[in-house]
């Protein structure tokens, strides 16, 4: 009896929330999975539930670590939401000016973003593009797996949409700017670990301080240097990151060697040494 009442209350709550908007979910299992997980996603990344909006048109395009959203209601606004890390994510939001927002919306509509049907193609290597479309009367979501320009019809359109949103909003630039604000650490990014000097006021070991000084003199590295310009660090023949040097004191170290990209010995470390190499040999 209690279970029946609970189910009834859930349905009543659900219907009262969404009864004014037709919710269209396809038979595609990926669309259904996304729809089920969406409340968790929008809460985690600080997004609005488009099933509840009353704007004349809302479009949201999901990528692996970001969303692009276009809102049409008394004008047009576009928003970029980026994040790193699934647990306790770091989030960055950007709002674009009306002219760029309008250009993006016109481009999306030119490729029929609101009417493209779902797609059941799937693969192993690739990534998804999930699109939400919301009007005052209807809500729908559909998913495409790694669409390409050399494919036909709707898959071509979705591939073009994915390219256009990045080109018009210059999302790569905003991604790089966002990454440069992150403290040292691993975030699961394609660029790998974020390496830079520890924040001002951090406790630094005597080895860390010495390597930092030598890097500034020989490699020109400073607190403003991009993480993409940091050297490769090797401690006792094992690669590490600069923050790992903070575990050691100078008294524990036998030798510190810093190679520039022009040193002949640098070649044995391959492309990872394109910014130089810091080699630490301990007394162990």
Rounded percentage of the chain residues whose pLDDT exceeds 90 = 62
Give residue 127's pLDDT: 87
Q: Mind listing the pLDDT tens digit for each residue in 101-113?
A: 999 999 999 999 9
Please state whether beta strands 253-259 and 232-235 pair in parallel, antiparallel, or not at all (unpaired): unpaired
State which H helix or E strand residue 10 sits in.
helix 2-18
In the block, residue with structure tokens 């002949």: 264
> For 62-78, what is the mean pLDDT?
95
Taking the CB of residue 20, how many other CB atoms lie within 10 A of it?
Answer: 11
**In the predicted model, what is the mean pLDDT of the chain?**
88
Give residue 236's pLDDT: 93
SS3 247: helix
Report whether pLDDT(190) > 80: no
> For 78-93, what is the mean pLDDT?
92
Q: Are 185 and 193 in contact (CB under 8 A)?
A: yes
* Two tokens, residue 183: 């403290």
Cα angle: 158, vertex 162, 168; to 5 degrees: 130
* Residues written for the chain: 284
Q: Mind listing the pLDDT tens digit for each residue in 134-153?
A: 999 999 999 999 999 999 89
Q: Mind listing the pLDDT tens digit for each residue in 191-250?
A: 567 888 888 889 999 999 999 999 999 999 988 888 888 999 999 999 888 989 999 999
Report whether pLDDT(175) > 60: yes
Give residue 12's pLDDT: 45
């Amino acid at each position: 009896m209690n279970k029946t009442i609970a189910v009834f209350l859930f349905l009543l709550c659900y219907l009262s929330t969404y009864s004014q908007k037709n919710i269209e979910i396809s038979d595609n299992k990926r669309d259904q999975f996304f729809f089920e997980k969406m409340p968790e996603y929008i809460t985690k990344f600080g997004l609005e539930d488009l099933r509840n909006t009353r704007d004349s048109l809302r479009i949201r395009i999901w990528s692996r670590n970001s969303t692009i959203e276009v809102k049409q209601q008394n004008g047009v606004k576009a928003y970029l939401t980026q994040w790193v890390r699934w647990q306790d994510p770091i989030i960055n939001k950007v709002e674009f000016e009306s002219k760029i927002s309008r250009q993006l919306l016109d481009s999306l509509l030119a490729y029929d973003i609101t009417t493209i049907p779902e797609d059941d193609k799937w693969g192993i290597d690739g990534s998804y593009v999930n699109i939400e479309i919301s009007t005052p009367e209807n809500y729908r979501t559909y998913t495409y797996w790694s669409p390409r320009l050399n494919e036909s019809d709707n898959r071509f359109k979705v591939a073009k949409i994915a390219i256009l949103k990045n080109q018009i909003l210059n999302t790569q630039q905003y991604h790089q700017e966002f990454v440069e604000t992150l403290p040292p650490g691993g975030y699961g990014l394609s660029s790998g670990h974020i390496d830079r000097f520890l924040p001002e006021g951090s406790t630094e070991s005597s080895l860390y301080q010495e390597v930092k000084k030598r890097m500034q003199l020989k490699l020109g590295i400073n607190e403003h240097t991009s993480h993409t310009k940091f050297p490769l660090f090797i401690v006792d023949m094992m690669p590490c990151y600069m923050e790992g040097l903070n575990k050691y004191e100078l008294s524990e170290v036998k030798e510190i060697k810093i190679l520039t990209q022009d040193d002949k010995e640098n070649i044995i470390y391959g492309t990872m040494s394109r910014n130089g190499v810091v080699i630490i040999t301990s007394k162990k």
